[in-house]
Every structure is written in C-alpha cells, then in structure tokens.
Amino acid sequence: MNTKDISFNDINFQKLVQDENYYKYIFKKTEKIVTVVFYILNNVESDKKTETHVSNIASKAHLVHEHSLRTLEVKRSASREVLEQFAQSLIALESTFRVSAATPLIAPEVLRAVVVEIDTVLRGLRSYLVEEKKADESFFSFGEESARARISSRKTSVTKGLVATEKDSDTTPNKTTTVSATADRRSRIQTIIEAKGEATIKDISDIITDCSEKTIQRELQSMIEDNLVKRQGERRWSRYSLF
C-alpha cells in the first residue's frame, strides 16, 4: 500500500468531533436549528387541535439532537450508519414541520427558514458520506497497478476540473438566481425578527449562517429603506423590529 494511502486512512480513524469543519458547520449548525425549533414551539399559540403537532415536532427535534451528538463519538471510518441515521432524523423533522405548516401553527415564512437551514446541513452530510465511501475503496485497494490507476484517475479529474473552471469563469452569473437568493434571505430575516419581536444582527447571524454579518447588515439597511423594518439604537447596539 502506498504511504500516502496510509496517511489518508489515518485521518479516517479520527473521531468526527476532531474534525473542525464537521463540528462547526454540521454539528453546531444542527444545534442552532434545534434551538430555533424549540424557540418557535415555545412562542406559538397552540390548542387541542395543534398540540399533537407541537408534540411531534418536539419529539423529532429531540431525536435530531441525540443523533447529532452520537456522530461526534464515531470514527470517520465507521461513521456511515450513524451519519445516515442522523440524516434520516433531519428529514423526519423537516417532514413533520411541513405537515404542521398545513395548520395555523407554523407560518409559511417560518417553514421556509427552517427548511433552508436543514437542507444546508443535509448537503454537508452528503459530502461526508461520499468521502467515506471513497475512503473505503482506497483502504481496500492494494498493489502498484491499483496505485497507478488511482494516480491516473486523479490526473484526469484535475484536468477536467481545470477545464470546467475556465468555462465557469466565462459564464455570466444568472440574475434570476441572485434575485431569488436575496428574496429568500430577506424572508428569513423577517421571520427571525417576527419570532423574536426585536433582533440584533448577531441574533440573525447566529441562525442564518450561510452569509456574513456584513451581508445581513446591508440587507437590513435595504429593508429599512423599503419600510419593512425599523432600527433602534446605533451600531452594535442596534435592534431591528418590524413595522
């Protein structure tokens, strides 16, 4: 076996809690999603017709948190089953949330914000599942011929990647996609402010983690100009609320 393969597989015997990217962008993001879900449940007006939905959502959110904690204790080389269970619990939470949105319990804007965040975590999990599959294939590949085949494959992938990058650089960004992303971000910001009553930029950035605080600040300023939100206080003490 090639020494580089040994080094590569050593990484896969580390626990996921030691993976900074996994901890920050998968586990901590999931933790925030669960926190927001319970915050929403604690601030909605439920009755006998909707209390079952509240209970179901709470149960699914607890399960997501438990599965996310379990993933931290497994090694990457043996993480596939645990990661798949984690992904399934996220899908179950999203599905339950969507069903509950058919009642007055969950507003469409709230549903959209939660679903977007869950989808982000699921996409991150898929990349880890694909990496583990590749790691398994690498670990059980022996001999010089196998090594040469892998090197050749990597060279081909790099060449194709360079060609694709050059083509992409000549492509003009789609304006429709940009407008859609801005509208989605604005809707999520409104949902958070509505849920909290008043919110700071940090409150919002703790939940919306796929863009910078500067981007959120610019969007808030644009929303002020459009008379959608109002600001109280200056600079870091500013708090935003809906009209």
The predicted-structure confidence for 176-234, as pLDDT tens digits, reads as follows 556 666 777 888 888 778 767 788 888 788 767 778 888 998 999 999 999 999 999 87
Q: For the chain, give every domain's residue range.
A: 3-142, 176-242
C-alpha distances out from residue 27 to 23, 67, 79, 161, 219, Å? 5, 10, 14, 30, 27
What's the pTM? Answer: 0.55
Alpha carbon separation from 107 to 49, 154, 189, 236 (Å, rounded)? 16, 48, 14, 30
Looking at 1.20.120, 1.10.287, 2.40.128, 3.90.320, the CATH number of the domain 3-142 comes to 1.20.120
More confident: 68 or 160: 68
Instruction: Give CA–CA dist 176/113, Å, rounded.
Output: 20
- Residue 143's pLDDT is 45
Per-residue confidence (pLDDT) for residue 144, from 0 to 100: 46
CB atoms inside a 10 Å sphere around CB 16: 21
176-242 belongs to CATH 1.10.10.10: yes
**Buried residues in 174-209 as b, exposed as e (16+ CB within 10 A):** eeeeeeeeeeebbebbbbbbebbeebebebbbebbe
> What proportion of the chain, given as a percentage, has pLDDT over 90?
36
Q: Please state, in angstroms and rounded to a whole number, the distance separating the CA atoms of residues 109 and 101.
A: 10
